Amino acid sequence: MVPDSLIRQAAQLIQKAKHTVAFTGAGISTPSGIPDFRSRGSGLWEFYNPMEVASLSAFRYDPDKFYKWIQPLALLMIEAEPNPAHVALARLEKAGLLAGIVTQNIDDLHRRAGSEVILEVHGHLREATCVSCYNCYPTDGFIEEFIKTGETPHCPDCGGVLKPNAVLFEEQLPYDVFCKAADLISQSDLILVAGSSLEVVPVAALPVTPLNAGARLIIVNHYPTYLDERADVIFREDVAVVLPRIVAEVLGE
């Protein structure tokens, strides 16, 4: 059980901050039934070598293998619903107490929960780009057919393979989004890390600059991170339990 004193401490940090930014990773979506990547015993990389199934080289060499791997994960993402942690952040933003969310997730659950300022630094599955003609298409229709049949989707114009606009290993991050995320975090005086191991660079390094300038830090994550020693408050409990309690305290509920 999380002590009320820690909840109050985190809530007071949010109430006093002028520019709070949330930084979220796969751990915020595990309560929605989407596995994360690095948890011991259940993370996706416990069962797969990411360079063999989720790298740009692997996709170019054998896109069918990539789509076979991602099919069950895509189904989980399509069927998943935002959990109380996603909803809590959306409520905090609506109350004017959260400047935005920088997320490593591609599952779209923040948007579906009602958040508006969301910077998806690792891309998303709402669009796909043809590797041959580079035309970009919404995945509505494509993704449902793919989940049903398991067949690799192809460009309706030239027949080339469609690649989801999610960032693979070896692939550059979306430049504009990354720059906006860096700018948003650099302005923060409070960073709320929720469900991120802070292991994937360069995104995981973004909090360092504002922390060096005096920003405060709250971490909600099951496992230690490299920034734990700089955190004001750390929670190791379920993010879907902790965040709603913090937000309720902030809003005086």
The one catalytic residue among 110, 122, 124, 154: 122
**Contact present, 188 and 215 (Cβ < 8 Å):** yes
Buried b (16+ CB within 10 A) or exposed e, 198-237: bebeebbebbeebbeeebbbbbbbbeebebeebbebbbee
Nearest to 238 by CA among 38, 78, 29, 87: 29
Residue 149 one-letter amino acid: T
- Residues belonging to the chain: 253
* Cα 203-220-172 angle, rounded to 5 deg: 15
* 122 in active site: yes
- CA pair distance 198, 37, nearest whole angstrom: 12
- CA pair distance 192, 184, nearest whole angstrom: 13
* Residues annotated as part of the active site: 122
